[in-house]
Copies of this chain bind each other. A is one copy, B any other.
Amino acid sequence: MHVMVLGAAGMIGRKLVAAIVAGGLDATALTLVDVVAPDAPAGFAGRLRCLALDLGEDGVAERLVGLRPDLILHLAAVVSGEAERDFDKGYRANLDGTRALFEAIRRVGGYCPRVVFASSIVVFGAPFPQRVGDTQLVAPMTSYGTQKAVSELLLEDYSRRGMLDGVALRLPTICIRPGAPNKAASGFFSNILREPLLGRPAVLPVGDGLRHWFASPRAAVGFFLHAARMDTGDLGHRRAVTLPGVSATVGEMVEALRDVAGNDAVALIRREPDEAIAAIVAGWPGDFEATRARALGFRAEADFAEIIRVFIEDDLPAAEH
């Protein structure tokens, strides 16, 4: 099988490629694409291409589809904050790029690859019930969320018409992100765990009661691999799946850190309430049922302590070197 990964140089993309090469998919050819050339993974015996291409640019989708991948894992995106700041850039990358991909596939005719698309719980918007169900109204409150919601609708129409075989994955907030602290509004969720685990201080800008919805990078990779292999006939025509995760308050996250790493780690968290961040995250959902996704075989962590252990196993050794 020829597998193409769009957004292969990103955090999830790199882990996904590593998992594919380790045997997560039966890949005989691998085409890795990102706006910067993705690194060649070690140990892949099949045909490998690493391409620096921007899906939002004219002709790129046609060129990629011309390689006839059997499976396209589409994680390429301009992130939320940037899509909100730069309207044109966000729509070009996140909507036009995705639509160009679908159109290029359609225009081949008789070619119907599996397309797994990275969507997000940001397609939803407040007000939320205490637990968000599988028939929650899609009502994005950002341009990024709008671009993801529109892409889901297109994926469903193209799939219904047999032009491609799509699955859209509404990812939870991915936590604990390895690497340097980032300044995204959601960055503190990872920062307050990763930095103390590395013996460094971190700032907590919100109250302990804030509840949100998480999965580890490892779980995210698992979602893509499962979507690549699943029987899409089970989806009916609702091709967008709200994925399982762990619902936890900030207070519960801190206590999970204490259980795993002790009081000294927790003492590195400095509380500095930030009204601006508190206002943004107050509009975020706290808990999902994800009944349908679990029935379809998607699996996330059981609790937040497991999310921390996954980081320690997968990312802490590299971070310490």
**What residue of chain B has the Cβ atom nearest to residue A103's Cβ?**
B91
Given A150-B150, A237-B125, do A157 and B137 touch, yes or no (CB 8 Å)? no
List residues of A (206-240) whose CB comes within 8 Å of B's CBs: 237-238
Contact A237 B141 (CB under 8 A): yes
A147 CB to nearest B CB, Å: 8
Binary CB contact string for chain A from 119 to 140 against chain B (1 if under 8 A, 0 otherwise): 0000001000000000111111
List residues of A (159-173) whose CB comes within 8 Å of B's CBs: 160-161
Contact A160 B139 (CB under 8 A): no
A146's partner among B138, B141, B153 (CB-CB below 8 A) is: B153
Given A146-B156, A150-B154, A156-B146, do A138 and B137 touch, yes or no (CB 8 Å)? yes
Residue from A137, A140, A150, A156 with most neighbouring chain B CB atoms (10 Å):
A150
A168 CB to nearest B CB, Å: 13
Contact B138 A138 (CB under 8 A): yes
A89 CB to nearest B CB, Å: 14
Known interface pairs A139-B237, A140-B153, A146-B157; 5 further A-B residue pairs with C-beta atoms within 8 A, sorted by A's residue number:
A87-B161, A135-B136, A139-B156, A146-B154, A150-B153
State the A residues within 8 Å of B (CB): 87, 106, 125, 135-141, 143, 146, 149-150, 153-154, 156-157, 160-161, 237-238
